[in-house]
Amino acid sequence: MNSKKNAFYAQSGGVTAVINASACGVIETAAKSKKINKVLCGENGILGALNENLIDTSKESKTTIAKLKNTPGGAFGSCRFKLQDPVKQKKEYERLFEVFAAHDINYFFYNGGGDSQDTTYKVSEMAKKLKFPLQCIGIPKTVDNDLPFTDCSPGFGSVAKYVATSTLEAGLDVKSMAATSTKVFILEVMGRHAGWIAAASCLASSNSEDPPHIILLPEVPFEKNKFLTQVKQTVRKNGFCVVVASEGTQMKNGKFLADSGLTDAFGHKQLGGVAPVLSGMISKLGLKNHWAVADYLQRSARHIASKTDLDQAYAVGEFAVKLATSGKTAVMPIIKRISDAPYKWKIDTVSLKKVANVEKTVPKKFISKNGFKITSAGRKYLSPLIQGEAQTNFNLGIPDVAFLKKDLLKKKLKKFN
């Protein structure tokens, strides 16, 4: 009888340019383990477990698995789905453990942000209650960089590199046309309550007159008159102005400038559209302006990923397996900074109980007094995270990415409603 047990891995929430590197870290490390038989991936996140749609990664070639490091998006499918409160509704949890038992799963790896770590913690608590042998490890991932305890979140360094590069390049474009055309350019980036992505755009500048001239963060209440005065002064001084705005830019009363009125599966307000709102304000000043929304482009740009970010994403996946097979549960690997220059880091751990539903925002010491710039302390923190160019292999001029067979295991249970 095979003493090795299977592992379940799933991706959750918004994906990143390097989340598949974490998957690669899990699968390749598990293949070397004496305790893990197969890694079974949930098709479309935790829904894959509930629906018993389990992808057998042992059917994929080693070459394809290695190529995951070069592939953006969520290779196994992700989801925004929140498990119900286990105290009020046990049905979903009972189903999970029914599936785990049917497929000999004793290891649970959930790759996601704050809500996902909350899920991993709840699953670990339920395993304890049911006396089910399940090692639950959360694997950090979020472009928002808002997970606590970890120096940075895998996925952030690459989106930061993309946004800083785009700010530099678009800034040069606007500067060259400003004498007779566009005077103001607005780039809208992700970030609901934490402005880390917008803050990273500061890395595009080498002196105070370089773009971005104005950075709007959720941490700084938006004041319309103050903002428009800054835009006018910047155009007067430099001839043009580049604004980078977090989608979560909000007023003093906490109302988002771009509240769509809708909410997602986790109960978060759906945002998007702060750039056209700002554009409307600027147009009334008589200044020609253009705007762009980075949206999915910023989080899927593997071709310009940070090597630091890629290395860290793989490392947390690798370490997660080592934690689980050594008997640890209800923990998450984190990145611990050892030094700034040269940038050195190592992998440590934190209890999932501490991580769940806690958001890390941009600290005051990283924000200038007028609220529109990032301080030298902020740049010192951000700069190492975008360093290094992650190798991208090309085929006929297009990135060469992994295409999986996604062979599903034969179902053993009745359909779950």
Q: Which of 21, 11, 6 is nearest to 392 (CA)?
A: 21
Residue 47 pLDDT more than 80? yes
Query: Cβ–Cβ contacts within 10 Å for residue 46, how many?
Result: 25
- What 3-state DSSP class applies to 409? coil
Residues labelled catalytic: 144
The number of folded domains in the chain is: 2
- Alpha helix stretches (DSSP H) within 33-155: 47-50, 62-67, 91-102, 114-130
154, with CB counted inside 10 A (0-12, 13-18, 19+), is buried
Query: Cβ–Cβ contacts within 10 Å for residue 142, how many?
Result: 28
**Which domain, by its residues, includes 98?**
5-142+303-358+388-399
Average pLDDT, the chain: 95
Query: Cβ–Cβ contacts within 10 Å for residue 51, how many?
Result: 17
Q: What's the pLDDT tens digit per position in 346-398? A: 999 999 999 988 899 999 999 999 999 999 999 999 999 999 999 999 999 99
Residue pair 32/124 in contact (Cβ under 8 Å)? The answer is: no
What's the rounded mean pLDDT across residues 295-306?
97
Within this chain, do residues 201 and 276 fall inside the same structural domain, yes or no?
yes
Residue 2 pLDDT more than 90? no
Q: Is residue 150 part of a domain?
A: no
Residue pair 379/65 in contact (Cβ under 8 Å)? The answer is: no
Q: What's the pLDDT tens digit per position in 90-128? A: 899 999 999 999 999 999 999 999 999 999 999 999 999
Within this chain, do residues 211 and 310 fall inside the same structural domain, yes or no?
no
Q: Which of 274, 165, 135, 190 is nearest to 15 (CA)?
A: 190
Q: Is residue 287 part of a domain?
A: yes
Q: Which two tokens stand for residue 356?
A: 């769940």
394-395 vs 398-399, strand pairing mode: antiparallel
pTM of the model: 0.95
CA distances from 367 to 209, 218, 224, 326, 371 (A): 17, 12, 19, 42, 6
Within this chain, do residues 289 and 197 fall inside the same structural domain, yes or no?
yes
Indicate the pLDDT class of residue 1, thresholds 50, 70 and 90.
Answer: low
- What pLDDT, on a 0 to 100 scale, did the predictor assign at position 87? 80
Percent of the chain with pLDDT over 70: 96
Q: Is residue 366 part of a domain?
A: no
- What pLDDT, on a 0 to 100 scale, did the predictor assign at position 88? 80
Within this chain, do residues 291 and 307 fall inside the same structural domain, yes or no?
no
- What pLDDT, on a 0 to 100 scale, did the predictor assign at position 263? 56
Q: Is residue 405 part of a domain?
A: no
Residue 30 pLDDT more than 70? yes
Residue 264 pLDDT more than 60? no
Percentages helix, strand, coil for the chain (3-state, rounded to 5) are: 40, 20, 40
Cα 234 from chain centroid (whole Å): 32
Within this chain, do residues 86 and 178 fall inside the same structural domain, yes or no?
no
Rg (alpha carbons) of the chain, rounded to whole number: 22
Q: Which of 220, 187, 184, 182 is nearest to 201 (CA)?
A: 187
